[in-house]
Amino acid sequence: MTPILNHYFARINWSGAAAVNIDTLRALHLKHNCTIPFENLDVLLPREIQLDDQSLEEKLVIARRGGYCFEQNGVFERVLRELGFNVRSLLGRVVLSNPPALPPRTHRLLLVELEEEKWIADVGFGGQTLTAPIRLVSDLVADHATRRVSVVAGG
């Protein structure tokens, strides 16, 4: 097992197997959300934010701090890739109401291709983050904690 996986598994208190399957993806997603907090202090202060693998590991895993979407999903992407998942980052728009124009793409989330299905994983949206990955299927409704979510086709 690689050093990042050893450190990350200790950080989230993971002791199980880590097979490349949907059960592992769901379990890691939930453990990450329950252990590594959303934090945007560096954005607000403002401090320089480093998004390279070593800096993200140091901040979120070793120093036991939290992070915002680019940091959270950056660490999670690296862990999934180290485990053998087919994963890549995407940029998404955050639309919280009906704005007159679509906002820019400012949110990092992950696309995981697994067992011939595509899944969205997002451990970095604060109090509104997904509790588990959702299938990337247009208009499929999924129950998450206290709300229902779906992928909507559009720009």
Q: Is the residue at 109 inside a domain?
A: yes
Active site residue 144: no
The number of distinct structural domains making up the chain is 1
- Distance (Å, rounded) from C-alpha 15 to C-alpha 43? 33
Active site residue 122: yes
- Distance (Å, rounded) from C-alpha 128 to C-alpha 12? 20
- To the question of pTM greater than 0.75 for the whole model, the response is yes
Instruction: State which residues form the domain around 8.
Output: 3-150
- Per-10-residue mean pLDDT, the chain, length 155: 95 94 97 96 90 97 96 98 98 76 84 94 87 82 68 64
Q: Is the residue at 155 inside a domain?
A: no
The residue from 34, 53, 107, 143 that is catalytic is 107
Active site residue 32: no
